[in-house]
């Protein structure tokens, strides 16, 4: 009888997104959100925002992308900030805190890059756990429930106005 050597599964690591991750990320986003993702107000923001690759991360296990968080440089009124989204995690990896880990890593990178704040559209009960609160003075270019527009500030800033290009 031949015994196969036991080896640990590939380790999960968070890495900066690169162009090589693009096809795997798009496939993950399609699985997570379906074609309706292109109709969301967050997509309107991404159409004019500058992609912040240095602040965007993938969760990679071996050669497989199992999670992603993307960041975009925008302004709220005339205050430069970053916009978070999309955030997606493979269905098999959910409930283990990977989404929160990705958000934390992207926020740490944003703070380290001297960004003032992060804004996103999401569920308060989920994002409140990682320091987000409702951003009452911020609006987006399209219809969105104001209770889902959230922010996390890294310094004392008053976020007011429409999300727009920097």
64: pLDDT confidence band, cut at 50, 70 and 90? Answer: very high
Q: Which helix (H) or strand (E) holds 93?
A: none
Q: Sorting pLDDT into bands at 50, 70 and 90, what band is 16?
A: very high
For residues 12 and 86, the model is more confident at 86
Q: Is the pLDDT of residue 8 over 60?
A: no
What local confidence, expressed as pLDDT, does residue 4 receive? Answer: 53
Mean pLDDT over the full length of the chain: 92
| pTM of the full structure | 0.90
Tokens 């992308």 found at = 65
Furthest-apart CA pair in the chain: how many Å?
Answer: 70
pLDDT at 71: 98
The first and second tokens of residue 20, run together, are 């090589």
Instruction: Please report, for residues 14, 43, 78, 126, the alpha-carbon distance to residue 85 in angstroms, rounded to integers and kept in the order given.
Output: 16, 9, 21, 14
**What pLDDT, on a 0 to 100 scale, did the predictor assign at position 41?**
85
More confident residue, 82 or 7: 82
pLDDT in tens, 95-154: 788 999 999 999 999 999 999 999 999 999 999 999 999 999 999 999 999 999 999 999
Q: Which among 113, 125, 110, 64 has a CA at the least distance from the CA of 89?
A: 64
Three-state DSSP state, 49: coil
């Amino acid at each position: 009888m031949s015994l196969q050597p036991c080896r640990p599964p590939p380790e999960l690591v968070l890495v900066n997104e690169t162009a090589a991750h693009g096809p795997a990320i798009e496939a993950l986003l399609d699985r997570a959100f379906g074609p309706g993702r292109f109709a969301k107000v967050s997509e309107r923001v991404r159409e004019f925002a500058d992609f912040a690759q240095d602040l965007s991360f993938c969760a990679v296990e071996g050669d497989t992308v199992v999670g992603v968080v993307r960041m975009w440089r925008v302004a709220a009124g005339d205050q430069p900030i970053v916009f978070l989204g999309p955030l997606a995690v493979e269905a098999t990896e959910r409930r283990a805190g990977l989404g929160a880990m990705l958000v934390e890593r992207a926020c740490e990178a944003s703070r380290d890059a001297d960004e003032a704040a992060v804004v996103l559209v999401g569920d308060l009960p989920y994002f409140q756990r990682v320091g987000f609160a409702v951003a009452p003075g911020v609006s987006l270019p399209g219809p969105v429930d104001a209770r889902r527009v959230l922010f996390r500030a890294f310094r004392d800033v008053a976020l007011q106005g429409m999300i727009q290009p920097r």
